[in-house]
Amino acid sequence: MARRPQSTASRPRIGVTGNHKSFSPSWIFLSLAIRLAGGIPARIHIKRRIDLKGLQAIVVSGGDDIHPTLYDSEPAYQVTYDPQRDELELEHIRYAREHHLPLLGICRGHQLINVEWGGNLYKDINPLRSQTSTRSSLLPRKKVRITSTACLMSIIRKGEIKVNSLHNQAVDRVGIGLRCVAFDNDNFIQAIESSSAQPVLGVQWHPEYLFFLPTQFRIFRWLIEQAQNHSNRQSS
Q: How many CB atoms lie within 10 A of CB 122?
A: 19
Q: Which of 45, 110, 167, 206 is catalytic?
A: 206
With b meaning 16 or more CB within 10 Å and e meaning fewer, what string describes 214-235?
ebbbbbbbbbbbbbbebbeeee
Q: What is the CA radius of gyration of the chain?
A: 17
Active site residue 67: no
Our answer to whether residue 116 is catalytic in this structure is: no
Q: Is 206 a catalytic residue?
A: yes
If DSSP codes are grouped into helix, strand and coil, which group holds residue 70?
helix
Residues 146 and 151: their CA atoms lie apart, in Å, by 10
Q: 89, 116, 193, 208: which one is catalytic?
A: 208
Contact 181, 191 (CB under 8 A): yes
The phi, psi pair for 153, rounded to 5°, reads -65, -40
The burial of 56, by beta-carbon neighbours within 10 Å (0-12 exposed, 13-18 middle, 19 or more buried), is given as buried
- Number of Cβ atoms within 10 Å of the Cβ of 162: 14
Query: How far does CA 212 lie from the centroid of its chain?
Result: 17
CA atoms within 13 A on the CB side of 201: 25
Catalytic residue among 45, 92, 107, 151: 107
Q: Which residues does the annotation mark as catalytic? A: 107, 206, 208
